[in-house]
Structure 1
Amino acid sequence: MAYWFKYGQSDGYSKHFVEAHVVKKRTFRKFTYRGVDLDQLLDMSMDQLLELMGSHNRRRFRRGLKRKHMALLKKLRAAKKNASELEKPAVVKTHLRNMVIVPEMVGSIVGVYNGKVFNTVEIKPEMIGHSLGEFSLCYKPVKHGRPGIGATHSSRFIPLK
């Protein structure tokens, strides 16, 4: 609903109406993992964190992390420690596609091997609970083209180029 006034005229309502819409700011959604925000996740013990995770991840962590997985976490800690405040940490390369992403890894940059190259993955809070391999595809997605000869019975009648 618009009010039109001559130059210099106004009513008190329209002035407050305009001010109310100018003050409004954009709010960003704060990240939570199953209702717990990132700061609290970082402060949690491993047992408390496992209660939030799914059964597959709980079982993997209860059976214990292997030496290679612990070495990866150690390298990620060292890379974060050596980076200055404004810089991103150095890329840590790994073949461990089955490593579950934990809150401690957030902000790190990992080179995940896909069988051919190391794909650089920056770990974000939304990735917690997923494995590293999910973010480095080891196959090229299929782009279906035209059917070739012998693909179907009707393809006999498709003229050759």
Structure 2
Amino acid sequence: MVSKQSKQSGRLPKRKEEFTYRGLTIAEMKKLDMNQVAALLPARQRRKIKREFGEEHQKLLDAVKAGETTIKTHLRDMIILPEMVGVTFEIHTGKEWKAVETTPEMVGHYLGEFALTRHSVSHGSAGIGATRGSKYVPLK
């Protein structure tokens, strides 16, 4: 049944669908083993998984599998895997920790993509005495 408001505007109401990654839901992806998940990912991520994760990466995966909900990490190069969905990571930016909650849309990306290390700078106006012309501005 279409509501009156959407009928008047000529558009159908937005339908909320379950997220799929290359035709698979997150629940289906969690059932796959690591090699099958790697086959779905882009080439760079697939190569990293085939060459196996390092010791630190394995510790992070073990913490995720243990059921921890908040994990602090320096591993900005860790690939977000389906079992990481729903976990909050505190990612180090070099100066501070940024809390990032993983969503299904993040699968296949790196943790570092969601905790930026550089910020845009917006400069204010020049102060008194900053330029030669500001010497003659009345101070009121």
TM-score of the pair, normalised by structure 1: 0.67
Residue in 2 that maps onto 1:110? 89
SS of residue paired to 1:139:
coil
Percent of aligned pairs sharing the same letter: 36
How far apart, in 1, do the equivalents of 2:49 and 2:107 lie? 14
Shift of 1:25: 7.4
SS of residue paired to 2:99:
strand
Amino acid at match of 1:40: E
Amino acid at match of 1:57: Q
How far apart, in 1, do the equivalents of 2:108 and 2:117 lie? 20
Of 44, 53, 58, which aligns to 2:41? 53
How far apart, in 2, do the equivalents of 1:99 and 1:61 lie? 10
How far apart, in 2, do the equivalents of 1:99 and 1:77 lie? 15
Gaps of 5+ in 1: 1-19, 81-88, 148-155
SS of residue paired to 1:115:
coil
How far apart, in 2, do the equivalents of 1:101 and 1:115 lie? 20
SS of residue paired to 1:59:
helix
SS of residue paired to 1:21:
coil
What is the root-mean-square deviation of aligned Cα atoms in Å?
Answer: 2.5
Shift of 1:60: 0.5
Shift of 1:142: 3.5
| Stretch deviating more after TM superposition (71-80 or 59-68) | 71-80
Matched, 1:21 2:5: no
Of 54, 62, 66, which aligns to 1:78? 66
Shift of 1:140: 1.0
How far apart, in 2, do the equivalents of 1:37 and 1:79 lie? 21
Structure index of larger Rg: 1
Q: Per-residue CA shift, 1:34-56, capped at 9, x if unaligned?
A: 22211111111211111111110
TM-score of the pair, normalised by structure 2: 0.76
Residue in 2 that maps onto 1:17? none
Shift of 1:132: 0.4
Q: Per-residue CA shift, 1:23-81, capped at 9, x if unaligned?
A: x976302201122211111111211111111110011011110010010111122244x
